[in-house]
Structure 1
Amino acid sequence: MQINLQEIVPDYIDKKNISGSQVWGKNIIIKKGEHLHIVAPSGTGKTSLIHFIYGLRKDYTGNISYDATDIKKLSTESFSSFRQNKISIIFQDLRLFEDQTTRENIEIKRRLHPFHPPEMIDEMAGRLGIETKLSQQVKTCSYGEKQRIAIIRSLMQPFEFLLLDEPYSHLDEVNRKKAMDLIYEECGKRNAAMIFADLKELDFLKGEKVLTL
């Protein structure tokens, strides 16, 4: 599968103001195995772009297609299938269940769309330094710990594309590196593409294809 962005522009952005963008109003093809880094200063539509690609919002002109299928024409059932098997996401606002434990948050995704066995939760939690948080309610965790929970949860399902919306904003350099290594490893297992959106270009993502929003 590949994702095609064909001259998309959010409805709330004046087309006169997109001349400097390398994404809005352009034609972009994202193929399996590619790593795309979107640099998006505040107010340029970073989260909107991620939501458009994931199909959560349709307030844009232009077309987004999975292979040759315009996602605006997909039925609810078809889109659900794509999200279960083709696309995973780390939301900027994380969308965790605060009253459930860390393990329960991750296990929900793993059971619904299994790719890894249950013991991988413990292994990944250990690698990211949150193994002691597995039995604790998410609401007792720091925001940086919650980001690591969301990262692990996103890696539990099968996917060909991984969307990441500012996933490391509350992680220090050591923990960013650990998280990035795990994400690269899991994308490599699937030959999956990664679409990473952040406010600025990050040093540890040097070498990726970089586009400014």
Structure 2
Amino acid sequence: MARLRKKPGFLYITVMQIQLENLVPVPLRDKVLQRSSDIWNREVTFTPGHFVKIKAPSGTGKTTLIHYLYHIRYDYTGQVLVDGRLWQSYNKEVIATMRQQQVSVIFQDLRIFEQLTAEENIELKRVMISQPYCTTEKVKEMAARLNVTHVLSQSGKTLSYGERQRIAIIRALVQPFKWLIMDEPFSHLDNENAQRAADLIGEECRARGAGFILTDLDNDTRFAYDTHYNL
């Protein structure tokens, strides 16, 4: 069972272990059961603090898996558990707080608000909790490291996909988390910018004692992964 400790504005889940038990996506059931997978229809434990890579060829359900882990899709058989409890057993208030303070995500479609500036997109996440995790100076430092300082005042609509991807990475990092979940986070970045982003992500995760789960199409050497899976 999850053990919760509360402070003003904060809720801590002290372990945040994620387990999959015979998880199978209903829409892809026939397809995924016809091939060998380390994830689907298996018992898998994601150990807190570990860097996890899931190599996932197109059509094998990597985005679907990300949505299951973040608990925004439920069309599966099997179970997803957080600290030994089914996702569904947490009430909506606790899940919302977990998403603010325990689990951060970079979606493949990025979900940038086009009517807001890049800086406002980041700021929405930064001030979501009563005690912001990152200072505005820290945000500017991240933007400089990822070469997007010059677009902070531009609307999301005007950004290139690569710029949007880097803004989404910064936005995910400005909140506290125990797990960072990422769906092809470097797909539209050149090697130099992808490595810059990977270095920043690795540093932030290590500083927090946090783990990440990253899905991608290919093998890579940007991180010292603790665990590799094939979807």
TM-score by length of 2: 0.89
C-alpha distance in structure 2 between counterparts of 1:191 and 1:205, whole Å: 15
Question: Percentage identity across aligned positions?
Answer: 46
C-alpha distance in structure 1 between counterparts of 2:61 and 2:224, whole Å: 22
Conserved 8 A contact 1:18-1:25: no
Structure-2 residue corresponding to 1:200: 218
Conserved 8 A contact 1:51-1:57: yes
| Structure 1, unpaired ranges of 5+ | none
C-alpha distance in structure 2 between counterparts of 1:78 and 1:208, whole Å: 29
Q: How does 1:162-201 map to 2 (within 5 A)?
A: 162-201=180-219
Deviation at 1:123, TM superposition (A): 0.5
Aligned length: 213
- Residue 90 of structure 2, aligned match among 65, 70, 74: 74
Conserved 8 A contact 1:9-1:15: no
Q: Hey, which bits of structure 1, 4+ residues long, moved more than 3 A?
A: 205-208
- Residue 84 of structure 1, aligned match among 90, 100, 103: 100
- Residue 151 of structure 1, aligned match among 169, 192, 204: 169
C-alpha distance in structure 2 between counterparts of 1:91 and 1:3, whole Å: 19
C-alpha distance in structure 2 between counterparts of 1:144 and 1:131, whole Å: 14
Conserved 8 A contact 2:51-2:224: no
Structure-2 residue corresponding to 1:20: 36
C-alpha distance in structure 1 between counterparts of 2:187 and 2:173, whole Å: 19
1:94 paired with 2:107, answer no
Structure-2 residue corresponding to 1:3: 18
C-alpha distance in structure 2 between counterparts of 1:121 and 1:84, whole Å: 17
Note the alpha carbon deviations across 1:138-186, whole angstroms, 9 max, x for none: 1111100100000000001010000000111110000000000000011
Deviation at 1:16, TM superposition (A): 7.2
Deviation at 1:18, TM superposition (A): 4.7
Conserved 8 A contact 1:18-1:24: no
Conserved 8 A contact 1:162-1:194: yes
Residue identity matched to 1:90: I
| Structure 2, unpaired ranges of 5+ | 1-15
Note the alpha carbon deviations across 1:100-145, whole angstroms, 9 max, x for none: 1111110110000321111111100000000011111111111001
Which has the higher mean CA deviation after the structures are superposed, 17-26 or 56-65?
17-26
1:212 paired with 2:230, answer yes
Q: How does 1:27-106 map to 2 (within 5 A)?
A: 27-106=43-122
Matched residue SS, 1:203? coil
Conserved 8 A contact 2:195-2:222: yes
Deviation at 1:207, TM superposition (A): 4.3
TM-score by length of 1: 0.96
